[in-house]
Chain A
């Protein structure tokens, strides 16, 4: 993993949804490059296509047009099996609503991923990394929102993914809890070198990124690079 090597290269990515007679253009030609070890924040108003882009990057969905390469592999042409393997081995996801499996404990929610990954951390290690070593046997219903989101992060990084994709991970959290979640993400990015893409519609979170991609109406309209990353606790909410 050399800093600066391209992980994702997207060219003129488009995505449209057919809704009966109307066609919704969710992505109207996105060009993008993500580099190893980067922490990138995707910023934009609701409905501008952030989730759509992230889903395509993560192999949850496929683009309607354009090309997307992951470490030289063409994801736009990948079949279901290849995408499944890609998601299993290379990508970690964190979602706004934590998406815990309610019938499994925190430890088991992580285990469900480590059990199928090739070289995972143990669930205990992963949970320690997010500071939840003492809550491993709690069910999601017994955890607060922030704790659930940290379990979700532990679950995402436990497989040692090469990219971590987070869709509004703090969207449902208060600011204090958000800080602790963002700190977890920041630490992991720094210490494990996991390439991280983070969606938010909260301007100030952009301060902790290497680069901020501004999206609007299905396009990336502006890219700003931060000379230095701010620590989450120093962000102005």
Chain B
């Protein structure tokens, strides 16, 4: 700091103890502009909060997941097969790279819960004789594992919770056509079912699908698997690449109807958990970026204005010998203080909300408990990011203050140059009242300032669009999915594929109006190094219950040969119409077949392949087989229908599609929309902060002018009009800009949140636009009301006293 020549100044010129008066100015300035400082701190806090919330929640969930997986020996490979003798276990164990093996019996069941009329499906897994499972260990929440008992069963916690099951309650199950009565002996959690999902469904339904465990001895007897197993899970020691172990295992199990082992990345629970977590991850970047960007922008406006209005004070301080650095430090500390308040509030609030958010996810992901931790690294990161944003925001103003030449600034700011605007030259001008003319002149005199204000309000409006569009978009998505693409009332699944003759029999039960059979087969799509597991749905070429459409909503008929594919998947795999798709059939004998991709279809949920049903039968080298049936039926007679269908032995399960739709809506509302609700709330407070901030600045800058008008004899109403008209005009200009900005941001968010499970379409409803506009107008109104007291009591004397 001290210059090289002449001796250093005797006192430091830094902000410090020697400059108490300057510090006092700092605090008084802060309290003078407290409304605006508070607004900026709020926006800053919102940005920091979202960052802390999402990063911390994500960290806590990942940490919890890791701990649960490690402590409970979550398997690395999972394989289903038709049936293999238990002796095979030792050969699997001998494969290089294998650390642990557990062979199991896995049986699909139908469950009857007392007092619950809907069909319930589930699966039972065996517990090895003599000891609890060593891979995918169970976490015992309550009770005792049903080791030797004939009738005891362990129930996954979500299912127990959904039905209020207690230890000692009984359940009736149908295992391979046999009815058995079982007693709940334990309520458990498993790393394998953190996210409990029925095979083939996208959304969990804890009431209608359950996972159970029972003694292997009992289960093998009931399921006719004595001395054999049909499922195996492995942990690896890491010495051999997973793909190699998998290849060896597949080779070994191929003879026994093995369908190919799945790694964790294809294990249902793990995969969905990862998808949800990656969705949170998308939020950790987009949302804080938006909020902190807005905060930086507001800070820029506030600091710019402050330096402008304090031009003379800055010059004075320089005239007294304060150095440029001391001045820069002064204004930097001002923004530093505002930002610190925001950061502290954001961190404190964020830390509280983060645990809440993580716990909310825990209602969907079942872990024994949340290992919540607040990492100082996360907090530091948030502070650093916020600080960076603040730096960007305040930089130009601070630099401007530092470089203001003292003499220049001693002169009153050069009188504004007037040019007649287009409006003023137009004949319209004559019709404006004096006060409106003042308003127009004020704005046109400082066009840059007006642009800033408009942009700031537009930011608030944009945040509202981003915060609210998902509500409409999700509704739109579900409408498409359930009203257009899946209009069936019920869905029946056969245990094994049946001849299409079966359709005839299913026409008889009560209330059935229309039926369509389909064939569904799990496949793995191979493309280059990548492969994705999904299924081919074979259906009528012009299916009424499962129509296929393009992105623009045009119907696409199924070709005689060849595949249609969900566009999201095709894009993901880099496939386009005309390409040949390599498919591995994961049913019966695994074969690799090829089929041409005839086109893509658009659907917001899930990813699938589609074929004409008979073409699929041919591809599978089978007769006219069906995997299931879609039907339309009378809603009033549905209960009766399900009761009659429950007696059909070939049915593995049935689902009520209206119920499924309700579940999906509830699920999405619970997760995504819950989060967006928080975002919307923040957007609200930010928009208000922005609008209030802007109106407050307008008042501060006009106070003297307005007082002068009062002195000249204008009424309070006329004087207020100058302010009201200005705020109204700026707001009106800002709203369309905010829509534009918000639309862009929403598109960004939609894109970053797309995933296999569902893709909220980029669809903004007029409701969203009108809502965001209404919120901004409301905020303007409230801001004006809050300031009306000040306008009412404009102090004519003191406003005119300090000379200009």
Residues of A within 8 A of B (CB): 51, 55, 58, 60-61, 79-82, 84-89, 91, 93, 95, 97, 99, 101-104, 108-109, 111-113, 115-118, 140-141, 145, 155, 159, 172
A118 with B9: CB separation less than 8 A? yes
Most B CB contacts (10 A, CB to CB) among A82, A85, A86 go to A85
Complex Cα–Cα for A117 and B12 (A): 10
A115-B21 in contact given A55-B407, A60-B319, A141-B802 (Cβ < 8 Å): yes
A141 with B21: CB separation less than 8 A? no
B55 to chain A, nearest CB (A): 39
B47 to chain A, nearest CB (A): 29
**Within 8 Å of chain A (Cβ to Cβ): is B24?**
yes
B278-319 interface (Cβ within 8 A of A): 312-313, 315-319
Complex Cα–Cα for A214 and B11 (A): 39
| Chain B residue with the shortest CB-CB distance to A55 | B407
B11 with A118: CB separation less than 8 A? yes
Point out the residue from B3, B10, B411, B803 that lies within 8 Å of A82, measured CB to CB: B3
Complex Cα–Cα for A108 and B312 (A): 17
B802 with A85: CB separation less than 8 A? no
A87 with B318: CB separation less than 8 A? yes
**Within 8 Å of chain A (Cβ to Cβ): is B6?**
yes
**Within 8 Å of chain A (Cβ to Cβ): is B19?**
yes
B21 with A103: CB separation less than 8 A? no
B24 with A89: CB separation less than 8 A? no
**Within 8 Å of chain A (Cβ to Cβ): is B410?**
yes
| Chain B residue with the shortest CB-CB distance to A87 | B321
Complex Cα–Cα for A80 and B21 (A): 24
For B745-769 the 0/1 string (1 means CB < 8 A from A) is 0000000000000000000000000
**Within 8 Å of chain A (Cβ to Cβ): is B406?**
yes
B13 with A104: CB separation less than 8 A? no
- Give 9 nearest A-B pairs by CB, closest first: A88-B321, A61-B407, A103-B28, A60-B407, A112-B21, A111-B21, A87-B321, A55-B407, A81-B3
Residues of B within 8 A of A109 (CB): 21
Point out the residue from B3, B24, B318 that lies within 8 Å of A104, measured CB to CB: B24
A85 with B6: CB separation less than 8 A? yes
Residues of B within 8 A of A91 (CB): 319, 321
| Chain A residue with the shortest CB-CB distance to B19 | A115
Complex Cα–Cα for A110 and B46 (A): 40
**Within 8 Å of chain A (Cβ to Cβ): is B554?**
no
**Within 8 Å of chain A (Cβ to Cβ): is B320?**
yes
Listed A/B pairs (22) with beta-carbon separation below 8 Å: A51-B410, A58-B319, A60-B406, A60-B410, A61-B405, A61-B406, A61-B407, A84-B321, A84-B322, A84-B323, A88-B13, A88-B321, A88-B322, A93-B319, A103-B25, A103-B28, A103-B32, A112-B21, A116-B11, A116-B322, A117-B321, A141-B801
A101 with B313: CB separation less than 8 A? yes
Residues of A within 8 A of B20 (CB): 111, 115
Residues of B within 8 A of A102 (CB): 802
Residues of A within 8 A of B312 (CB): 99
**Within 8 Å of chain A (Cβ to Cβ): is B22?**
yes
| Chain B residue with the shortest CB-CB distance to A56 | B407
Residues of B within 8 A of A60 (CB): 315, 318-319, 405-407, 410
B296 to chain A, nearest CB (A): 25
| Chain B residue with the shortest CB-CB distance to A140 | B802
A14 to chain B, nearest CB (A): 15
Residues of B within 8 A of A81 (CB): 3, 323
Residues of B within 8 A of A55 (CB): 407, 410
Complex Cα–Cα for A110 and B6 (A): 26
Q: In the complex, given contacts A93-B320, A141-B798, what are 10 additional A-B residue pairs having Cβ atoms less than 8 angstroms apart?
A: A55-B410, A58-B319, A60-B407, A60-B410, A84-B323, A88-B322, A91-B321, A101-B316, A112-B320, A140-B802
| Chain A residue with the shortest CB-CB distance to B29 | A103
Complex Cα–Cα for A229 and B315 (A): 33
B1-39 interface (Cβ within 8 A of A): 3, 6, 9-11, 13, 18-22, 24-25, 28-29, 32
Residues of A within 8 A of B407 (CB): 55, 60-61
B594-650 interface (Cβ within 8 A of A): none
Residues of B within 8 A of A (CB): 3, 6, 9-11, 13, 18-22, 24-25, 28-29, 32, 312-313, 315-324, 405-408, 410-412, 798, 801-803
| Chain B residue with the shortest CB-CB distance to A97 | B803
A112 with B25: CB separation less than 8 A? yes
B204 to chain A, nearest CB (A): 60
Residues of B within 8 A of A141 (CB): 798, 801-802
Complex Cα–Cα for A80 and B404 (A): 12
A206 to chain B, nearest CB (A): 24
B803 with A87: CB separation less than 8 A? no
Residues of A within 8 A of B318 (CB): 60, 84, 87
Complex Cα–Cα for A79 and B3 (A): 10
A108 with B24: CB separation less than 8 A? yes
A85 with B316: CB separation less than 8 A? no
Residues of A within 8 A of B9 (CB): 85, 88-89, 118
A88 to chain B, nearest CB (A): 2
Complex Cα–Cα for A155 and B21 (A): 13
Complex Cα–Cα for A93 and B798 (A): 26
| Chain B residue with the shortest CB-CB distance to A148 | B802
Complex Cα–Cα for A146 and B240 (A): 90
Residues of B within 8 A of A101 (CB): 25, 313, 316
Residues of A within 8 A of B412 (CB): 97
A104 with B320: CB separation less than 8 A? no
B709 to chain A, nearest CB (A): 21
Complex Cα–Cα for A137 and B708 (A): 29
A73 to chain B, nearest CB (A): 9
Complex Cα–Cα for A27 and B190 (A): 89
A112 with B410: CB separation less than 8 A? no
Residues of A within 8 A of B29 (CB): 103
Residues of A within 8 A of B313 (CB): 99, 101
Complex Cα–Cα for A55 and B407 (A): 6
B803 with A172: CB separation less than 8 A? yes
Complex Cα–Cα for A140 and B803 (A): 12
Complex Cα–Cα for A85 and B13 (A): 10
B29 to chain A, nearest CB (A): 6
B406 with A112: CB separation less than 8 A? no
Residues of B within 8 A of A61 (CB): 405-408
B322 to chain A, nearest CB (A): 7
A82 with B19: CB separation less than 8 A? no
A104 with B21: CB separation less than 8 A? yes
A15 to chain B, nearest CB (A): 10
| Chain A residue with the shortest CB-CB distance to B798 | A141
B321 to chain A, nearest CB (A): 2
Complex Cα–Cα for A81 and B320 (A): 13
Residues of A within 8 A of B320 (CB): 87-88, 93, 112-113, 116, 155, 159
Complex Cα–Cα for A116 and B10 (A): 9
Complex Cα–Cα for A102 and B798 (A): 12
B337 to chain A, nearest CB (A): 14
B32 to chain A, nearest CB (A): 6
| Chain A residue with the shortest CB-CB distance to B411 | A51
A80 with B321: CB separation less than 8 A? no
Residues of B within 8 A of A80 (CB): 324
Complex Cα–Cα for A93 and B405 (A): 16
B21 with A89: CB separation less than 8 A? no
Complex Cα–Cα for A28 and B170 (A): 108
B11 with A87: CB separation less than 8 A? no
| Chain B residue with the shortest CB-CB distance to A104 | B25
Complex Cα–Cα for A86 and B240 (A): 76
A26 to chain B, nearest CB (A): 11
Residues of B within 8 A of A172 (CB): 803
| Chain A residue with the shortest CB-CB distance to B4 | A81
Residues of B within 8 A of A113 (CB): 320-321
Residues of A within 8 A of B3 (CB): 79, 81-82, 85
